[in-house]
């Protein structure tokens, strides 16, 4: 596990440098980071991943911080699946920037991915409903 963390740490250091995270990135700069070149594709990717696109004069920008959080989120979700009890410590060791780490946690509900139920439960009795609520809580 330690060897895997060292490999991921080098990748994360590239994503989360210690420079100012409140800088604005143009669409071409975002495209270089996400390996896309078409502005329409870049905008679609940003919208699908929940990154807000801002307009300043006639140019479009995104915040560097918001993009970094979006890029790190899949890795954090994988860590939650692989290491459900230790994922916070692993993330804390990998992501050395507190702001990015806290924003990643805000995107997750109490440290777990927000999962909506697929089915609505129907109970035959009140006892079944109480049992279900006790098990879920």
pLDDT digits (tens, 9 = 90+) for 19-32: 566 788 999 999 99
- Alpha-carbon span 114 to 108, nearest angstrom: 6
Straight-line distance from the first to the last Cα atom of the chain, in angstroms, rounded to the nearest whole number:
32
pLDDT at 9 over 60: no
- Alpha-carbon span 28 to 59, nearest angstrom: 11
Tokens found for residue 128: 């079944």
Instruction: Tell me if residue 8 falls in helix, strand or coil.
Output: helix
Judging by beta carbons within 10 Å of its beta carbon (0-12, 13-18, 19+), is residue 77 exposed, middle or buried? middle
Q: What is the mean pLDDT of residues 38-58?
A: 90
Q: Which residues pair with 112 in a beta bridge?
A: 109
pLDDT at 62 over 60: yes
Based on the structure, what is the number of domains in the chain?
1
pLDDT at 38 over 80: yes
Q: What is the mean pLDDT of residues 99-118?
A: 68
pLDDT at 2 over 60: no
Q: Which of 15, 41, 39, 20 shows the shortest CA–CA distance to 28?
A: 39
Which residues span the domain enclosing 42?
Answer: 2-136
- Report the chain's mean pLDDT, rounded to a whole number: 79
* Angle subtended at Cα 69 by Cα 42 and Cα 101, rounded to the nearest 5 degrees: 175
pLDDT for 72-108, tens place per residue? 888 988 988 898 888 888 888 888 788 888 888 887 7
Helices (H), 49-111: 64-82, 87-94, 98-106
Task: Report the sign of the C-alpha dihedral through residues 112, 7, 5, 65, in that order.
Answer: negative
- Give the Å distances, CA to CA, from 89 to 10, 80, 92: 17, 11, 5
pTM for the full model? 0.62
* Angle subtended at Cα 133 by Cα 129 and Cα 137, rounded to the nearest 5 degrees: 175
């Amino acid at each position: 596990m330690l060897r895997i963390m060292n490999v991921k740490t080098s990748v994360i250091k590239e994503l989360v440098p210690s420079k100012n995270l409140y800088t604005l990135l143009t669409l071409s700069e975002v495209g270089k980071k996400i390996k896309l070149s078409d502005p329409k594709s870049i905008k679609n990717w940003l919208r699908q991943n929940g990154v807000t696109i801002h307009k300043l004069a006639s140019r479009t920008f995104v915040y560097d911080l918001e993009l970094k959080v979006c890029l790190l989120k899949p890795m954090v979700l994988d860590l939650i699946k692989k290491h459900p009890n230790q994922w916070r410590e692993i993330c804390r060791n990998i992501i050395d920037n507190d702001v990015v780490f806290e924003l990643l946690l805000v995107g997750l509900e109490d440290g777990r991915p927000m999962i909506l139920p697929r089915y609505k439960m129907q109970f035959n009795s009140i006892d079944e409903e109480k049992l279900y609520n006790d098990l879920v809580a």
